[in-house]
Amino acid sequence: MKGFIEQAYKGYTDWWRYLVGFFIIFIIWQLGSTIQVFFVFLKLLNDGLSAEEILMKLSDVSVLMGTLESNFNFFLLLLGFVFGFAGIILVIKLLHHLKLKQLITSREKIDWNRIGLSFGVIAVLISGSILLDYQLSPEDYQYNFELNRFLILALIGITMVPIQTTFEELLFRGYLLQGFGSVFKSRAVALILTSVLFGGLHIANPEVAKLGYQTLIVYIGTGFFLGIMTLMDEGLELSIGFHAGNNLLTALLLTADWTAFQTHSVFRYLGEPSLVSDVYIPVLVFYPALILMYSKIYKWKNWKQKLFGKVKYEPSSEV
């Protein structure tokens, strides 16, 4: 069985294809994201603001996140990732002559059990940590549950959050990890570059504005965590499950004025965020513990080669 990065050699791996491909994916993704901005523009215009005033306000993240009805805004935010997902499929098929499966796993078939396990583990961890903190500090939480709005949120979340998170996994731990790996012939370089880029993607998140640039530690750390799982497990299944579970459970259970997702969740957090609990504990405690757990479950071996070894060119008769 070829390794995960080596799956790229079943198609075309010229460096310029990855450069052009990333540009195409990014443009399609951002075009989809402008739909939300367009509806915010229309709402502000309907409220009596001039076009000049609106253009000035659109640079404010709080305006983009707080102008439209919460569920509608959530749907529009996620819609951009549907475009991005389509862009990835287009690029890998037409530019690289690869199948989507080859961007997901090195196994014969996608392992849905791995996805389900990873989803379930993080779902339990998030639910448990929120309920525990609620018991310890109930004054930091406001009960926010409204059945009708929550059901709409759940429908949007269940159908579209996995598209958003899988797109990000396909882009960073799939397309770019394979791309950097095949171009630089180094697993470590591919891991570092994709993790830093993943962190940079979140630099405009309101959490960063609230806590400062130290918040990027958790985003970059998450990139390393997901990248290590991908390289050691030779596939995206565990990272796809984790990312979907993390984003979906967070969107359904908890929101705050300073979070990226403003939703009709069960609870609204009224307390102040903490670098210790929101940044350092996940990176230094939870992520290493999860890696250790999965390494035992799936009997990972050859850590040095899989994380720091050279990527070997393996020509394929499929190209």
DSSP string, the chain: ---TGGGGGGS---HHHHHHHHHHHHHHHHHHHHHHHHHHHHHHHHTT--HHHHHHHTT-HHHHHHSS-HHHHHHHHHHHHHHHHHHHHHHHHHTS---GGGGTBSSSS--HHHHHHHHHHHHHHHHHHHHHHHHH-GGGEEE---HHHHHHHHHHHHHHHHHHHHHHHIIIIIIIHHHHHHHH-BHHHHHHHHHHHHHHHTTTSHHHHHH-GGGHHHHHHHHHHHHHHHHHHTBSHHHHHHHHHHHHHHHHHEE-TTSS-----SEEE-S---HIIIIIHIIIIIHHHHHHHHHHHTT---HHHHHHSBPPP---TT-
Q: What are the tokens at 68? A: 């439209």
Distance (Å, rounded) from C-alpha 104 to C-alpha 176? 12
The residues of the chain scoring below 70 in pLDDT are 1, 314-319
Distance (Å, rounded) from C-alpha 15 to C-alpha 200? 22
pTM tops 0.85, yes or no: yes
Give pLDDT, residue 64. 82
Give pLDDT, residue 258. 79
What are the domain boundaries of the chain? 5-308
Give pLDDT, residue 316. 59
Give pLDDT, residue 319. 53
Give pLDDT, residue 301. 95
